[in-house]
Amino acid sequence: MHEIKQMGSAEEVTRRGFVLSAASTMTMAALGTFPGRASAAPIALAPLPYPDNALQPVISSNTLGFHYGKHHKGYVDNLNKLIAGTHYADMPLAKIVAATAGKPDRLAIFNNAAQTWNHTFYWSSLKAKGGGEPPAALKRRIEESFGSLGACKTELTNAALTQFGSGWAWLVQDGGKLKVVKTGNADTPLASGMKPLLTIDVWEHAYYLDYQNRRADYVNAVLDKLVNWQFAADNLG
Ligand code: MN
């Protein structure tokens, strides 16, 4: 596990973003355009892939309703206000993230674009009756990189628990290897040219209504009962 410290160059992010395009069950041509939209249309709030009570009792419909309907929607609304009339208005969401990463004068756009992307990715990283064993091909890759599924889950838990303040824990593909990384606030492995496979939101708004300050209980429950290994497998290059 390591923290992401360096942003890739814009050119590298673009190049790596293109390499991201093998994304499997997503029918859109490129993860770089995940989630897709028509050019110059406002960035859309992607629909939840399940009803807001689908993840109960691990994540309540109350938490999911606020998280999606207030927080995620808020990032989308702010982003659309910030990019209206700028050249970012014609870009797919992931390209806005790459184009604003590491630019202090574009921090507000980056934060709202990255949070918009991260949340859509998070919803797909979870499913009702998740957890359990990853599909065979992913499990083999996990064992090659971490030694065992248990070691991978331990690294994900440690990343989630040691992220100081708000942020995210991620399973990523970096070159040929799988890694666990953590990012602070809105930061995302997309901005560093890594390929996200799945994520866990560790902002307090993701768990405080259900777990108060017990982040470990939330993270362990997500990994045991909700994590969508099939989605991670589909994202593998
Ligand atoms: Mn969140």
Q: What is the pLDDT of residues 89-133, one digit of tens each?
A: 999 999 999 999 999 999 999 999 999 999 999 999 999 999 999
Using CA atoms, how far apart are residues 185 and 192, in angstroms rounded to an integer?
15
pLDDT at 35: 62
Taking the centre of ligand 1 as the mean of its atom positions, its distance from the CA of residue 64, in whole angstroms, is: 10
The verdict on residue 51 lying in a domain is: no
Query: Which token pair is 191?
Result: 């901005």
For residues 155 and 110, give the distance between their C-alpha atoms in angstroms, rounded to a whole number.
Answer: 27
Ligand 1 centroid–CA 186 distance in Å is 9
Residue 32 reports pLDDT greater than 90 = no
Question: Ligand 1 centre and the CA of 201: distance in Å?
Answer: 6
Rounded Cα gap, residues 67 and 226, in angstroms: 16
pLDDT at 103: 97
CA of 19 to the centre of ligand 1 (A): 27
Q: How far is the centre of ligand 1, averaged over its atoms, from the C-alpha of 206 (Å)?
A: 5
Query: What's the pLDDT at 41?
Result: 81
- 126 strand-pairing partners: 227
Arithmetic mean of pLDDT over the chain = 87
Q: Which residues on neighbouring strands pair with residue 198, listed in sequence order?
A: 171
Query: Does residue 20 carry a pLDDT above 50?
Result: no
SS3 state of residue 95: helix
State in Å: Cα 205 to ligand 1 middle: 6
Q: How far is the CA of 82 from the centre of ligand 1 (A)?
A: 20
49 located within any domain: no
| 87 CA to centre of ligand 1 in angstroms | 27
**Can you tell me the distance from the alpha carbon of 90 to that of 83, in angstroms, rounded to the nearest whole number?**
9
Element (H, E) at 175: none
Question: Is 112:79 a contact under the CB 8 Å cutoff?
Answer: yes
> Which pLDDT score is estimated for 13?
34
The pLDDT value given to residue 193: 87
pLDDT over 70 (residue 16): no
Beta pairing class for 195-201 and 167-174: antiparallel
Q: How many domains does the chain have?
A: 1
pLDDT tens for each residue of 128-183: 999 999 999 999 999 999 999 999 999 999 999 999 999 999 999 999 899 999 99
Residue 80 lies in a domain: yes
Residue 47 lies in a domain: no
Distance of alpha carbon 24 from its chain centroid, rounded?
A: 17
Q: What is the predicted pLDDT for the residue at 39?
A: 58
Helix, strand, coil fractions of the chain, as percent rounded to 5? 55, 10, 35
Closest of 199, 182, 227 to residue 117, by C-alpha: 199
CATH code at position 148: 3.55.40.20
- Compute the distance from residue 234 Cα to the ligand 1 centre, in Å: 23
CA of 144 to the centre of ligand 1 (A): 31
CA distance 111 to 101: 9
Residue 22 pLDDT: 31
Q: Is residue 34 over pLDDT 80?
A: no
* CA 134 to ligand 1 center in whole angstroms: 24
Whole domain around residue 27: which residue ranges?
1-41+59-237
**Inside any domain, residue 50:** no
| pLDDT for the residue numbered 97 | 97
**Residue 15 above 90 pLDDT?**
no
| Centroid of ligand 1 to alpha carbon of 177 (angstroms) | 27
| Overall average pLDDT of the 70-88 stretch | 97
Give the whole-number percent of the chain exceeding pLDDT 90: 81
Q: Is residue 190 included in any domain, yes or no?
A: yes
Q: DSSP secondary-structure letter at 30?
A: -
Beta pairing class for 177-184 and 167-174:
antiparallel
Q: Give the whole-angstrom CA distance, residue 194 versus residue 227.
A: 20
DSSP H or E stretch at residue 28: none
Ion ligand 1 contact residues with beta carbon within 5 A: 201, 203, 206
Say how many Å lie between the CA of residue 198 and the centre of ligand 1.
Answer: 14
